[in-house]
Structure 1
Amino acid sequence: MTKILVVDDEADLEVLVKQKFRKKIREQEYQFVFASNGRHALEQLKDHADVAVVLSDINMPEMDGLTLLGRLSENHSLLKSVIISAYGDMENIRSAMNKGAFDFITKPVDFRDLEVTLEKTIRQVKQIRETMRAIKENNILKMYVDETVLNFMGTREFETTLMSSETVEAAVVFIDICSFTAISENESPDTVVELLNNYFDLMVKEIIAHGGFIDKFIGDAIMAVFKGEYQLDRAVDACLAVRNKISSLPMVSNHVKFEPNVSIGINYGEMVIGNIGSSSLKRLDYTVIGDAVNLAQRLQGAASPGQILISEEAYHRIKEYFKCREIGEIALKNKQNPINTYEVVE
């Protein structure tokens, strides 16, 4: 049984959760514990040390969700937290991710999306806990490893830096704001940051609306990942929506001839997902890597403003649902042979 802590000051959510997950509750797959705010949540965790996942709102009395995230990362490092909030703006999403949130869902809650997110989060928690248990119970290791090392392995520091990974099939998207350098060279820093955040905010909302999640922000570009059913279709839908909304935005100013536009690369396939980075610096990034990811980035680099490029393999998977145009073979960096590419038109 997986125990899940739901933190929200709205009593209606407790009722909805019990209704929507009544089958899993009845079959003892899930057990839900409820708290009305962050302070109450910390009290519940004292009585329910086996909680695996925390679902938390942001705006709550006494202790808000972002403050709770910070406390959880300090004292409950093996938990995974998912933010559920009506505040789906870029500032709140980035703050939540920076404080350790595993995922972000906006209200009103799509319970099918919530169920998929819960399953994904629970798998991650189980994998980490199984690894920790195997290490702690390994008697052979205890015979040959120095006691100082074993004591360190039982600390929160070790648990926090534990790196785990898995192979998944997903669609990955790279979206770049074309020629944004023109703004950074001609506008004030405050204007540049405000514009970039506004563009990102618009793009993130479309990505999340189509069931994707933000992997990272890279300068003036976004990397997003779509997992689960119809992953490639949802990725293409999101990118079409992003392109249309960005291209419809007005020119920045009279003295800077910049009309917002994006170039996009999409690909899908098997990729490795895990904590990548430097454990010595304590800087790890939960991200996806692999050839499928690299190809998506190369396709974005080859795309013109307003263009969405995909591989031939991806084209054959979506051609019945989207209008595409063959571009032809393109030589891409680190690819021995040219790649036949297609443009998603509509």
Structure 2
Amino acid sequence: MSTSILVVDDEPDLEALLVQKFRKQIRDGTLRFLFARDGVEALAALQTNQDVDMVLSDINMPRMDGLSLLAKLQERNEDLSTIMVSAYSDMANIRIAMNRGAYDFVTKPIDFADLEATILKTIRHVEALRETQRRQSMAEQARASLARYFSPNLAERLASGADAIDLGGTRRELASLFTDLTGFTTLVETIEPKVLGTLLNDYLVGMTDIVFAHEGTVAKVIGDALHVLFGAPSDQPDHASRAVACSFMLDAFACSFRENWNSKGIPLGHTRIGSHAGTAVVGNFGGGRFFDYSAYGDTINVAARLQAANKTLGTRICVSGSLAAKAQNFCGRPVGDLCLRGRAEPIRAFEPLTGERCGSAETQAYMDAFQELESGDPAAVASFAALVGRNPDDGLASFHLKRLLNGETSTTITL
């Protein structure tokens, strides 16, 4: 690697001496010297030669001395290593130069062996700076890429190498969460592209901000839909609790967002959310050509199908029993035992509730009605009818009432 040195000195013989002393390095291209007679010429030379790595400058010169030049370089934020040259008796000015950011100094008359050693030391310093800048640039690029998927603090850790994402997969315990905005495909066909762009961008920013606030990982964004992971790529022992808490906030945001756009005459649907906890294979499966952090396995499939099940169940959030069991202080209304495509055994599902709803009399009435359904008690019909009568918007109670009226008497639900 070639190093360019700007020599700033008004002594006419110095240029010939340096060229003679470093002729071998100049010939093989490892060193390149430029020369200026004072600070004014030096600044002009730096303007036309952007590849200068270090400055070797005398202190005492006409028009602009070395200290003034050093101050100008600091003002311009020039990323240069500077070696100051002056008589040993001028140590006060050398001290000022060092305080102003000079890297090193040599004294006159110049000892060329000492000068060579100082230049070599400075070259190593310059190379170290270049490597630091290269690593910083790579880290910034990594952060920019990772920030698309991960919360800012997790992206920072991954970019700095605190956690590694290797090509290929690892099996992890995690929670998988899916969201879907109902009626979005129809909406795309009916509103202006500019309006759609604003709507979708604001929706995704709001949703992903909530995910990142819970330190979740956005594994996929497909149109309006999100696939979110908790517990990957870094361990999160409370991944199930994070998924539940995040679901509540996503639902609250989506409801507010829907009301806002509905007031503008845009018929926006509800956002449905499904989540499941278990094991999955996660990793970067991009084949080395692009970053595609993905997760695969039954846990992922179940979460996606629980999200879709909301449409039939009349709920907005549906989570599995395994996630409910792992979430701290979980409270929710049992939905039933769902027979999902691709699974031999039914899976118990719940509609999670906030603390306020959890302790309400209406929730207790639902729990009593569901217990009657589970035990085969015919009184379940009247209990669910009473729930719907008091709250016609209770989609889950309405769903069970319709099932019972159609002759179904168990908690097993085939979707």
TM bucket (normalised to shorter chain) is 0.5 to 0.7
Q: Does 1:299 align with 2:312?
A: no
- Structure 1 residue 54 displacement after superposition: 5.8
Distance of 1:44 and 1:335 partners within structure 2: 57
Query: What is the CA deviation profile of residues 156-215 of structure 1, one whole-angstrom value per residue up to 9, with x for unaligned ones?
Result: xxxxxxx33222222111011122223212101221122111111111111101111211
CA gap 1:103/1:339 in 2 versus in 1, 3 angstroms? closer
Alignment of 1:118 with 2:157, yes or no, is yes
Alignment TM-score, normalising by the size of structure 2:
0.47
Q: Which residue of 2 aligns with 1:267?
A: 276
Cα displacement string for residues 210-266 of structure 1 (whole angstroms, at most 9, x for unaligned residues): 111211102220011112131111111111001011112325357956244211111
3-state DSSP class of the match of 1:252? Answer: helix
CA distance in 2, matches of 1:105, 1:238: 13
Change (3 A) 1:290 1:48: same
Secondary structure, in 3 states, of the residue corresponding to 1:122?
A: coil
Residue in structure 1 matching 2:195, options 185, 191, 197: 191
1:47 equivalent in structure 2: 131
Amino acid at match of 1:222: L
Amino acid at match of 1:201: V
The structure-2 alpha-carbon separation of the partners of 1:55 and 1:184, relative to structure 1 and needing over 3 Å to count, comes to same
Deviations, residues 38-94 of structure 1 (Å, cap 9, x unaligned): x99x986743599599654xxxxxxxxxxxx2xxxxxxxxxxx33xxxxxxxxxxxx
Q: How does 1:132-281 map to 2 (within 5 A)?
A: 163-227=167-231, 228-249=236-257, 250-252=259-261, 258-277=267-286
Higher helix share: 2
CA distance in 1, matches of 2:269, 2:206: 12
User: For residues 352 and 194 of structure 2, what CA distance do their matches in structure 1 show?
Assistant: 35
| Cα pair 1:175 1:265 within 8 Å, conserved | yes
Please give the alpha-carbon distance, in whole angstroms, between the structure 2 residues aligned to 1:251 and 1:102: 26
| Number of the residue aligned with 2:59 | none
1:323 aligns with 2:336: no
Look up the SS of the partner of 2:261 in the other structure.
Answer: coil
The whole-number CA distance in structure 2 between the counterparts of 1:295 and 1:53 is: 40
Equivalent pair of 2:169/2:285 in contact (CA under 8 Å): no
CA distance in structure 1 between the partners assigned to 2:148 and 2:185 by the alignment: 32
Deviation at 1:325, TM superposition (A): 0.4
Relative distance call for 1:315 and 1:187 in structure 2 (3 A) is same
Matched position secondary structure for 1:303: helix
Give yes or no for contact 1:186–1:256 (8 Å, CA) kept in 2: no
* Shift in CA distance, 257/226, structure 1 to aligned 2, threshold 3 Å: same
Q: Which has the higher contact order (CA 8 A, sep 6+)?
A: 1
Name segments (4+ residues, structure 1) moved above 4 Å.
Answer: 42-45, 48-55, 100-106, 253-257
Residue 307 of structure 1 and its aligned partner are, at CA, apart by 1.7
Once the two structures are superposed, residues 310-346 of structure 1 have per-residue CA deviations (whole angstroms, 9 ceiling, x without a partner) of 111222222x523200000222121223222111122
Distance 1:317 1:47, change over 3 A: closer
Equivalent-residue separation in structure 1 for 2:269 and 2:340 (angstroms):
25
How far apart, in 1, do the equivalents of 2:208 and 2:128 lie?
33
Distance 1:301 1:52 in 2: 43
Q: What SS class does the counterpart of residue 208 from structure 1 fall into?
A: helix
Alignment RMSD: 3.5
How far, CA to CA, are the matches of 2:204 and 2:137 in structure 1?
28
Contact 1:274 1:286 in 2 (8 A): yes
User: 1:238 & 1:222 partners in 2: Cα distance?
Assistant: 13
Change (3 A) 1:44 1:270: farther
Partner of 1:155: none
Cα distance between partner residues in 1 of 2:330 and 2:295: 26
Pairing of 1:81-96 with structure 2 (within 5 A): 81-82=142-143, 96=144
Equivalent AA in structure 1 for residue 219 of structure 2: D
Q: Is the 8 A contact 2:278 2:322 kept in 1?
A: no
CA contact (8 A) 1:299 1:309 kept: yes
More strand, by proportion: 1
Cα distance in 1 between the residues matched to 2:182 and 2:254: 11
- Look up the SS of the partner of 1:269 in the other structure: strand
Gaps of 5+ in 2: 1-76, 81-125, 355-415
Structure-1 separation of matches of 2:298 and 2:162 = 24
